[in-house]
Structure 1
Amino acid sequence: MGFDLSSIQGTVQKYAEVIAQVSGVDVEVVDKKLYRVAGTGLYAGDINQDMSSEGYVYKHLLNTGETMIIYNPGEDSLCSNCPNSSNCQETIEISMPIKVHEEIIGIIGLVGSSKEQRDLILQNEKLYLEFVNQIADFIAAKALEQKEKESNLSIIATLDSVIDYMEQGVLIMGEGNIITKSNENAKKQLGVSTVEGKTVEIIYTGDELNNTSEYKMIIDNKEVFIMGEVYPLGLRNNQYTSILIFKNIKTIHSDLYEMTATHKTIDAKNIIGSSEATKRLKSNIEKVACSNSTVLITGESGTGKEMVATAIWRESDRRTQKFVAVNCAAIPESLLESELFGYVKGAFSGADPKGRIGKFELANQGIIFLDEIGDMPIYLQAKLLRILQERTITRIGSNQVIPIDVRVIAATNKDLKVMIETKKFREDLYYRLNVIPLTIKPLRERREDIEELTNFFIKRYNRLLNKSYNYIKKSTMELLKNHMWRGNVRELENTVEFMINMMESDGVLNDKTLPVDFFEDLSTEVVTSNNANIITPLKELELREIQKALNIFGDTTEGKRKAAMSLGISLTTFYRRLEEVLKK
């Protein structure tokens, strides 16, 4: 292991002097390279000398590892090659190895140079041997301690060098959880300029996410939630007892958000359209953007509800925070709860063993967009209502209550009032969500926007498909402007993409580039028969007229009111008949 007695030379010299005083003889200590590390009497002035040219007995001991006693120095066979063998001044010599784990790291030599000293050693030989052996153990223990200290210092130096380059926060703590060392990322994530010398309290919350433990850290009376692990260092150093490697929970949220955020964003002023309905929508977005109140966006499928939600976000004072979108209709009912609220390790059978952070927690400080809210199961609606009221969440499988600051924007293409009447949507949740109602008119009710949107999509797909667009015929544009657009802006965009693909090399968009099904009459007509013998049931005629009225006036609340008036029935009766239409 490379033990160096010179690193504890002062201690070795003190032990040599102790032996000399007790034994009454001269003492020297050499290392395994035969350099004299300590000496008394005759050897006191020759410390740090190389003895390799004369230490014949020591060389032999290094090979055998056995304690040796030379009773007649100069005459012993081991002394035959010594240049001073015929004129040796020594009368007796004891050589004992210093060992660490069976490795010889040095030798203690007791040398008598007079008859009295020789007689003294011989009289107390066993006692001297036990005493010197004890001293050898002391020196070995000190050498081992020094080696461990050097190793620890090396480990600490390595730790100090490495942690500065780690992306995670790192705190090294000593006894009493006093912070000894930190890296820049730790201070950045904790929002402080210095932490060294401060006491930190680390409390395990009991939750585990992403295979990492969650802790509440208290420092300077400030609470911070982190994900990480505490590791004991096992060093004999009171200043380096444990190391914490962590990430602030907010940093983890940001990392997850960067990996999952795929939404397109747009400012309110960039929403395309000059119709009165679109102008009014833009104005309302700007008015409500900086509020914290919940928003309910209603409109048919394809009208751009998520676009409006992101426009509110971009105009709001939360624009620098996260926008998290959840499609309640796209996630299986059994998974929606865990997706929204998250769960901890071992929360339920079949769950990801790492645990997962929920969308509400991920959106903290920002906005969560709950699309297709009408498809949320009734039992989850109760949980959502409680969250909106209490502003706290609890992960599945956890007892920890997490405060959240999230603005909720919901959207649906369904008539929630009808769903309330049929007990499919909670009335209390509806009023909690519908604080700020925003309705997006269907495209057929804002035909002034169709030409602008068409030109916008032509430019987009001409660029994406690397085509050479020239112009669109007026008659074709008129067809587009007069179409029913049941799929709204989404259907218009798909139609334009198809047209660009079908465009000839002259770059002209005409009727021939339109999809075949564009020319099919998609409106529901009342089928009448010229056969006087065939009678159409009144129920069927009624349902057809209701559907026809919806196609004309639209699927919005206002559209339904107008449809009911045109049919000469009350709005309640209309909703009841509409429920029958929906069941067909």
Structure 2
Amino acid sequence: MNFNLCSIQDIVQEYAEVIAQVSGVDVEVVDEKLYRVAGTGLYAGGVNQDMSFEGYVYKHILDTGETKVIYNPGEDILCFNCPNCSNCKETIEISMPIKVDEEIIGIIGLVGSSTDQRDLILQNEKLYLEFINQIAYSIAAKASDQKEKESNLAVIAILNSVIDYTEQGVLIIGKGNIITRNNESAEKQLGISTLKGKTVEIIYTGDELNNISEYKITIDNKELFIMGEVHPLGIRDDQYASLLIFKNSKTIHSDLYEMTATLKTLDAKNIIGSSEATKTLKSNIRKVAGSNSTVLITGESGTGKEMVATAIWRESDRRTQKFVAVNCAAIPESLLESELFGYVKGAFSGADPRGRIGKFELANQGIIFLDEIGDMPIYLQAKLLRVLQERTITRIGSNQVIPIDVRVIAATNKDLKDMIETKKFREDLYYRLNVIPLSIKPLRERREDIEELTDYFIKRYSSLLNKPYSYIERSTMELLKNHMWRGNVRELENTVEFMINMMESDGVLNDKTLPVDFFEDVSTEVVISNNPNIITPLKELELREIQKALNIFGDTTEGKRKAAASLGIGLTTFYRRLEELSNK
């Protein structure tokens, strides 16, 4: 391990002087390279000299690792090659290795130069050897301590260099939980400008997500949740007890959001359409955007409920925070709870063993959009109600209560009041969600928007598909404007995309570019032709009158009762006819 006796030369010299005083002989200590580190008497003036040219006994010690006593210097076989062999003035010599874990790091040499010194050592040889052995052990311990200290200093230097270049927050914590070192990222993530010298309390919450432990830390009476790991440093230094490497939970949430967010968003002003219904909708979006109240968006499938939700987000003071969308109908019922609220490591069989952050936690400080809320199972509705009331969540498998600040926007294409009557939707949850109701009219009720939307989609898909566009024939535009559009804006978009694909090189959109099923649906058009030679089917007339009644009385349960009465039919018959016609 390259122990260096020179790094503790003063200490070695002190030990050499102690041996000399006790033994009454001269003492020298050399390192593993045979440089004299310390010396007394005859050797005091030769400290730091190279002894390799004459240290034949020492070389033997380095080879064998054994203590050697030369009783007759100059006559021993190890002395034959020494240049002073024939003129040796030494009367006795003791050489003992200094070892650390069986590695020889130096040698202690005692040299007697008189008969009296020789006799003294021989009379107490065993005692001298034990004494020198203890000194060798002490020097080895000091060398080990110095090596550890040097290693620690090297580690500390590396730590100090590395932590400034990592994006994660780093705290070095010393005795008494005092922060002794930190990087700039730690200050940014914790929102505290000066961390060094402050006391930190770190408590493991028991939750693990993505194989990372969660901790609650307290600094200056400020509580924060972080994801990271605490590493004991094992350095015998009061300033370097442990190392905390972490990311603020908010930072992790933002990272996950950036990985998953693929939303296309619009401001209210960019919502396409000039009909009165669309103008009213845009005006209402601006009015409610600044509030934190829950919004319930209703409308048929394909009307753009998510677009309205994102417009509210973009117009609100949460626009810089996250918008997290969850389609309650697209996620299996058994997984929806864990998707919304998350779970910790080992929460249930079949779960990701690393745990997962839920969508509510991910949306903290921002907006969560619960699309197709009518498809949420009844048992989960109770938990959602509790979240809306208490503004806290608990991950599956955890006892930790997490406060959240999330604005909820829900959407559905179902009649939730009807579902309440059939016990499929909780009435208390409905009123929690329906604080601000926004209704999106179907495209057939705002036909003034069709031409603008068509022009928008033509420009979009001609660019995406790299197909030059010239114009659309007026008769074709009229067909589009008078179509039923049961799939609303989504169906119109798909139709235009198909037309662009079918468009010839002249760039003209006409009836030939329309999909075949477009004409198959013409018999159920709501708009009635004024041509006296065209007969309108009764089914079409029936649907038109049902739709007219709904427009007058509204799409609510009470409105449907009035609509049925105005048509002279029972409510059950009204529902059956409406379902039959809607499925055509």
TM class, shorter-chain normalised?
A: over 0.9
Q: 1:333 Cα shift? A: 0.9
Judged with a 3 Å threshold, the aligned counterparts in structure 2 of structure 1 residues 523 and 337 are, in CA distance, closer, same or farther, namely farther
Structure 1 position 368 matched with structure 2 position 368: yes
Deviations 1:192-234 (A, max 9, x none): 2221222211101111111111110111111110111112122
Partner residue, 1:182: 182
Q: Conserved in 1, the CA contact under 8 Å of 2:484 and 2:524?
A: no
* Contact 2:340/2:358 (<8 A) preserved: yes
- What aligned pairs does 1:301-380 form with structure 2 within 5 A after superposition? 301-380=301-380
Partner AA of 1:485 in structure 2: W
Residues 139-196 of structure 1: CA deviation (Å, up to 9, x unaligned)? 1111111111111222222222222222222222222222222222222211122212
C-alpha distance in 2 between matches for 1:230 and 1:407:
34
Structure 2 residue 47 is the aligned partner of structure 1 residue 51: no
Closer, same or farther: CA 525–290 of 1 in aligned 2, 3 Å: closer
Match of 1:530 in 2: none
What amino acid does structure 1 have at the position aligned with 2:366?
A: G
Q: Give the SS at the match of 2:291.
A: coil
Q: Secondary structure at the match of 1:357?
A: coil
Write the distance in 2 (CA, Å) between the matches of 1:151 and 1:557: 84
Give secondary structure in 1 for the equivalent of 2:194.
coil
Matched, 1:444 2:433: no
Shift of 1:493: 0.7
Match of 1:236, SS state, is coil
Instruction: Tell me the amino acid that sits aligned with residue 54 of structure 1.
Output: E
CA distance in 2, matches of 1:246, 1:32: 45
Partner of 1:537: none
> Which residue identity lines up with residue 198 of structure 1 in the other structure?
K
Cα RMSD of the aligned pairs, angstroms, is: 2.4
Describe the superposition over 1:495-552 as per-residue Cα deviations: whole angstroms up to 9, x where unpaired: 11111111111111111111111112456599xxxxxxxxxxxxxx9x9998664455
- Residue 214 of structure 1: aligned partner: 214
Q: Which runs of 4+ in 1 moved over 4 A?
A: 522-526, 543-557, 559-567, 569-573, 579-584
1:568 maps to 2:568: no
Structure 2 Cα separation of the partners of residues 555 and 516 of structure 1: 30
Query: Is 1:106 matched up with 2:106?
Result: yes
The residue that corresponds to 2:225 in the other structure is 225
2:141 paired with 1:141 = yes
Any idea what the Cα deviations from partners look like across 1:307-364, whole Å, max 9, x if unmatched? Answer: 0000000000000000000111111111111111111111112111111111111111
**2: distance between equivalents of 1:267 and 1:525?**
33
Amino acid corresponding to residue 574 of structure 1 in structure 2: L
Q: Partner residue of 2:276?
A: 276
Paired residue for 2:533? none
Aligned length: 569
Residues 245-304 of structure 1 deviation map (CA, whole Å, 9 limit, x = unaligned):
211110111011111111110000000011111111111100110100111111111110
1:120/1:281 CA distance change after superposition, 3 Å:
same
Query: 1:356 aligns to what SS in structure 2?
Result: coil
How far apart are 1:425 and its partner, in Å? 1.2
**Counterpart check, 1:118 vs 2:114:** no
> Shift of the alpha carbon at 1:41?
1.0
Equivalences for residues 221-300 of structure 1 within 5 A: 221-300=221-300
- Give the corresponding residue for 2:531: none
Code of the residue aligned with 1:28 in structure 2: it is E
Give the direction of change, closer, same or farther, for the CA distance of 1:283–1:581 in structure 2 (3 Å limit): closer
Tell me what 1:3 maps to: 3
Distance 2:371 2:465 in 1: 30
Q: Match for residue 75 of structure 2?
A: 75
In the alignment, structure 1 segments of 5+ residues that lack a partner are 527-540
**C-alpha distance in 2, partners of 1:305/1:335?**
24
Deviation at 1:80, TM superposition (A): 2.5
Secondary structure in structure 2 of the residue aligned to 1:423: coil
Look up the match of 1:538. none
Change in CA separation of 1:567 and 1:109 when aligned onto 2, cut-off 3 Å? closer
For 2:79 and 2:26, how far apart are their aligned partners in 1?
A: 19
Is residue 29 of structure 1 aligned with residue 29 of structure 2?
yes
User: What residue in structure 2 maps to residue 89 of structure 1?
Assistant: 89
1:506–1:24 Cα change, 3 Å:
same
Corresponding letter in the other structure for 1:451: E
Identity %: 80
Aligned partners of 1:299 and 1:556 also within 8 Å: no
**Counterpart of 1:241 in structure 2: which amino acid?**
A
Cα gap change, 1:468 to 1:581, in 2 (>3 Å): closer
- Determine the C-alpha separation between the residues in 1 that align with 2:523 and 2:410: 30
Amino acid aligned to 1:441: K
SS of 2:96 mapped into structure 1? strand
Residues 203 and 571 (structure 1), Cα distance of their counterparts in 2 relative to 1, 3 Å cut: farther
Amino acid at match of 2:554: E
Question: Structure 2: which amino acid aligns with 1:35?
Answer: Y
CA contact (8 A) 2:564 2:574 kept: no
Displacement after TM superposition at 1:374 (Å): 0.9
Contact 1:300-1:556 at 8 Å conserved across structures? no
Return the TM-score normalized by structure 1: 0.93
Equivalent residues of 1:322, 1:365 under 8 A apart:
yes
1:404-427 Cα shifts (integer Å, max 9, x gaps): 111011111111111112111111
Corresponding position of 2:532:
none
Matched residue, 1:64: 64
Structure 1 counterpart SS, 2:554: helix
Counterpart CA distance in 2 for 1:23 and 1:76 is 23
Asked if structure 2 preserves the Cα contact closer than 8 Å seen for 1:524 and 1:548, the reply is no
Give the Cα separation in 1 of the matches to 2:172 and 2:466: 57
The secondary structure found in structure 2 opposite 1:568 is helix
Report the CA distance shift for 1:23/1:76 in structure 2 as closer, same or farther (over 3 A): same
How far 1:9 moved relative to its partner?
Answer: 0.4
Deviation, structure 1 residue 557: 7.4
Residue identity opposite 2:575 in structure 1: L
1:559-583 CA distance string (max 9 Å, x none) = 4677655543599963785279659
Letter matched to residue 558 of structure 1: G
Shift in CA distance, 70/9, structure 1 to aligned 2, threshold 3 Å = same
1:411-455 deviation line (CA, Å, top 9, x unaligned): 111111111121111111111111111111111111111111110
Distance in 2, Cα, partners of 1:557 & 1:104: 100
- What does 1:163-182 align with in structure 2 at a 5 Å threshold? 163-182=163-182
Select the residue among 554, 561, 567 that pairs with 1:558: 554
Q: Give the stretch that moved more between structures: 203-212 or 172-181.
A: 172-181
Q: Given the superposition, is the C-alpha separation of residues 565 and 65 from structure 1 closer, same or farther in structure 2, using an over 3 Å criterion?
A: closer
Distance 2:193 2:573 in 1: 65
Residue identity in the other structure for 1:378:
I
Change (3 A) 1:31 1:421: same
